Amino acid sequence: MADRNSLIEARLPRGFEDRAPADIAATDRMIATIRQVYERYGFDPMETPFFEYTETLGKFLPDTDRPNAGVFSLQDDDEQWMSLHYDLTAPLARYFAQNYDKLPKPFRSYRAGYVFRNEKPGPGRFRQFMQFDADTVGAAGPEADAEMCMMMADTMDALRLQGKYVVKVNNRKVLDGALEAAGVREDQKLTVLRAIDKLDKFGVEGVQQLLGKGRRDESGDFTKGAELSEHSIAIISSMFEPNIVAVDDAEFKETGDLAGIKIEYGDPHQFRPMFVSLMALGADRINSFVQGRAELEVMRSLFSSAGYGADRIRIDPSVVRGLEYYTGPVFEIELTFPVTNERGEKVVFGSVGGGGRYDGLVSRFRSEPVPATGFSIGVSRLAHALKLTGNLAAEENAGPVVVLVLDRDPAAIADYQKMTSELRQAGIRAEMYLGSSGMNAQMKYADRRNAAAAVIVGSNERAEGKVTIKDLARGAEEAKSIEDRAAYKAAKVGQVVADRNLLVAELSKIPAVARMIQRAGS
């Protein structure tokens, strides 16, 4: 036995989590539903490795104040730097560029897998998490972006979230033009966009700090801000905070057009608010603003024609998306039902996924422009939301049928193994108990394995050609109505004795086992 002082403490690194069978089973059911929608839209699966060359990934993460620019990196023996991918989009861009001549264009694919970010962990913020992406590479028009939004809506409907979500759409070109009209310099723009993207997380005050000198969090860490003027901060705060924005009701509620917003701002020291519009700031003379508005209008028309009302998909100027590589339409899925946050406040659940157009990402590898659009679902966050709404029960799949080992002589062991093999060949999950404990401990083991049934064969049963089958789920349910232990043992709840040659037939009468056989045959 190892010296106690030399034992290693069993602990999990910060920002990572273990997953139990029930969580995995629930997530698998959700992913299967999402996959069906993606494939119905004509998308095919593909995979890329966890590691990419660091230069392949680029520096597009929202948090650039972390070591290794937010990624986990290592240097290979050929002195090339490799990094764990931080999303599934940058590897797709590399794959498409590398296989450009062989792939159909547009190229439609979906991918599910873990991504890794070297960021500061916190409640609900992990360094490893799963995403489920779909992308169209090689389609330039807003029709491809609109299709992504429609697929997002259909995915939420397939997960039985009707009436509890909205897909919100904006355009980076509109945002760029609006920020330019508000006096934001080009070198400040990305920091401003990332600050606005944190509105749900930090609130108006936190965003205003990031737009100004910077923000210090609860741990004392300081994030440098965009250092905008108070005048620009006031305009931008009003532009994206719904409690402050004054809206021209008739136009904005119909189209969500930023041009219909009247922005309230003023001298923060004298408290003298004024009203202006983006038009008065000159946004209509900025090409990107005009082009972005036109693209949003095309998308709005497509949504309407396809029967997607504003209750499912709507234009919303508050959508930003924090990644640097977005170049056009951006979109988010927001779940709108209320939850209580860590401060005890009632808030909407919020975003579970999003994406947008990234026309410049593939072009990093090729001389010609390559348009692309896509979106990503945060698998863990969406699974949590589905559990809250009762649409995803974290129930373990039934465990295997456990064949108890009551006799230890070689002939008996061979017979137990033969029974186990028969069950497996019939499509039934099964295992022979491999420990050294007695019958009571083996039954406890079967319970902990959430076993569908236990097969009990002692020397007497073997001599008579019989098997005892115990339906553990039924036994547990019926036992709730029997208070006396002696009566419970005498009742032999959920237990049946059958001929040895009818083992599979008798087990298949148990619902959990029947489902195993059905899945195996499908």
79 with 134, same domain: the answer is yes
Residues 81 and 168 in one domain: no
The answer to whether position 150 is within a domain reads no
DSSP 35-76: HHHHHHTT-EE----SEEEHHHH-S--S--SSGGGGS-EEE-
Band (71; pLDDT cuts 50, 70, 90): confident
> Are 183 and 64 part of one and the same domain?
no
513 inside domain: yes
> By three-state DSSP, how is residue 285 classified?
helix
Tell me what the mean pLDDT of segment 135-147 comes to: 95
pLDDT greater at residue 481 or residue 513: 513
The CATH number of the domain where 469 resides is what? 3.40.50.800
Closest CA to 363 of 210, 183, 138: 138
The reply to whether 154 falls in a domain is no
Mean pLDDT of 107-118: 94
What pTM does this model have?
Answer: 0.77
Quote the mean pLDDT of the chain.
83
Q: Name the pLDDT band for 260 (thresholds 50, 70, 90).
A: very low
pLDDT for 503 equals 95
Statement to judge: residues 309 and 392 lie in one domain: no
Query: Each residue of 39-62: pLDDT tens digit?
Result: 999 999 999 999 999 888 876 544
465, burial (CB in 10 Å: exposed 0-12, middle 13-18, buried 19+): exposed
Residue 7 lies in a domain: no
pLDDT at 98 over 60: yes
How many structural domains does the chain have?
A: 3
Residue 368 within any structural domain of the chain: yes
| Higher-pLDDT residue of 474, 130 | 130
Angle at 196 between CA 191 and CA 202, to 5 degrees: 110
Which of 341, 370, 396 lies at the terminal end of a domain, its last residue?
396
Q: Which domain holds residue 115?
A: 14-140+359-396
Q: Which residues pair with 277 in a beta bridge?
A: 262
Q: How many C-beta atoms surround the C-beta of residue 86 within 10 A?
A: 23
Residues 338 and 426 both lie in one domain: no
How far, CA to CA in Å, does 92 sit from each of 4, 236, 330, 361? 48, 34, 18, 10
Note the pLDDT tens digit of each residue in 414-443.
999 999 999 999 999 999 999 999 999 999
Per the domain annotation, does 177 fall within a domain? yes
Q: How confident is the model at residue 251 (pLDDT cuts 50, 70, 90)?
A: very low
Instruction: Check whether residue 236 and residue 352 sit in a common domain.
Output: yes
Whether the per-residue pLDDT at 146 is higher than 60: the answer is yes
* 421 and 385 belong to one structural domain: no
Q: What is the pLDDT of residues 385-416, one digit of tens each?
A: 888 888 776 666 789 999 999 999 999 999 99
Binding-site entries: 87-89, 117, 131, 135, 321, 325-326
If asked whether residues 427 and 412 sit together in one domain, one would say yes
Same domain, 187 and 225: yes
Q: Categorize the per-residue pLDDT at 474 as very low, low, confident or very high, splitting at 50, 70 and 90.
A: confident
Q: What is the CATH number for 55?
A: 3.30.930.10
Domain finish residue from 396, 419, 453: 396
* CA separation for the pair 175, 504 (Å, rounded): 65
Query: Are residue 67 and residue 93 in the same domain, yes or no?
Result: yes
Alpha-carbon distance 417 to 431, whole Å?
9
Same-domain pairing of 169 and 244: yes
What per-residue confidence (pLDDT) applies to 193?
A: 81
Annotated binding site for L-histidine: 87-89, 117, 131, 135, 321, 325-326
Contact 444, 435 (CB under 8 A): no
What are 176-206's pLDDT values in tens digits? 887 887 788 888 888 888 888 777 778 778 8
Whether 8 maps to a domain, the answer reads: no
- Burial string for 299-335 (b: 16+ CB within 10 Å, else e) reads bbebbeeeebebebbbbbbbbbbbbbbbbbbbbbbbb
**105 domain-assigned:** yes
| 374 and 335 in a common domain | no
